Amino acid sequence: MNMITIAWLFPIIFMIHDFEEIIFVKAWRERYQQERKNSKMKKKPFDHFKSTASFSIGVEIIFLIISLTTLLSVIFHSYYIWYGLFFAITCHFVFAHVRQAFQFKHYTPGVTTSVIFLPISIYLLYEATILLEYNLMEITLSCLVGVFLSFIIFYTLTSIESKLEKKLIDYSNK
């Protein structure tokens, strides 16, 4: 396996994972409405969800960021940001979806692909580390930058999701 192949698996993994969320989140929220209401969880799963359309816009923006990062990494043979973002998504599988499903005690959208892609992603990160010959400092800095960027991207998108929803409603009413 070469680095270019590994790099392009990242946007593919991300989209397959997010397709699960896009497809199931609306029906899941309706099915588990009472369980969500009765849950003692501080942050309930998909509280930020407004609609499939606005959620999909957020997914599209993240996909474009991941794809552009992958493309630039491949072109310039510099994978620091790519590595960090892939690490962040891999952590997201565990700390968002798997943990959330255990706490909620039911299926949550995204957990199935998280469980499937977690070992694959860990393996791909391992292979990338070998191919890129990153030392511990490079791995640590790359991962910290990737997690930091992921938080910025996620919180920016969730904070503008209501605005995106309003624009979609305005567009449909014209």
Give pLDDT, residue 172: 87
Residues 146-167 pLDDT 10s? 999 999 999 898 888 878 888 8
User: Is there a domain that residue 40 lies in?
Assistant: no
Mean pLDDT to the nearest integer, 17-37 = 94
Asked if residue 93 has pLDDT above 90, the reply is: yes
pLDDT at residue number 65:
97
- When mean pLDDT is compared across 57-66, 68-77, 151-160, the lowest value belongs to 151-160
* Burial bucket for residue 106 (CB in 10 Å: 0-12, 13-18, 19+): middle
- Domain housing 11: 3-23+69-172
Domain assignment of residue 62, yes or no: no
63 falls within a domain = no
The yes-or-no verdict on residue 133 having pLDDT over 90 is yes
53 compared with 7, residue with greater pLDDT: 7
Closest CA to 79 of 66, 91, 90: 66
55: in domain: no
> Does the pLDDT at position 54 exceed 90?
no
Residue 99 resides in a domain: yes
Sole residue written with tokens 């003692």: 40
pLDDT: is 51 or 130 the higher one? 130
Structural domain count, the chain: 1
Residues in Cβ contact with 57 at an 8 Å cutoff, skipping those fewer than 6 apart: 164
Q: For the chain, give the mean pLDDT.
A: 94
- Let me know if residue 42 belongs to a domain: no
pTM as predicted: 0.91
Mean pLDDT of 15-37: 95
Looking at residue 160, its pLDDT comes to 84
Confidence of residue 126 (pLDDT cuts 50, 70, 90): very high
| Burial (0-12, 13-18, 19+ Cβ within 10 Å), 136 | exposed
CB 117 within 8 A of CB 100: no
Residue 53 has pLDDT above 90, yes or no: no
Greater model confidence, 56 or 128: 128
Does residue 116 fall inside a structural domain?
A: yes
Q: Does residue 98 form part of some domain? A: yes
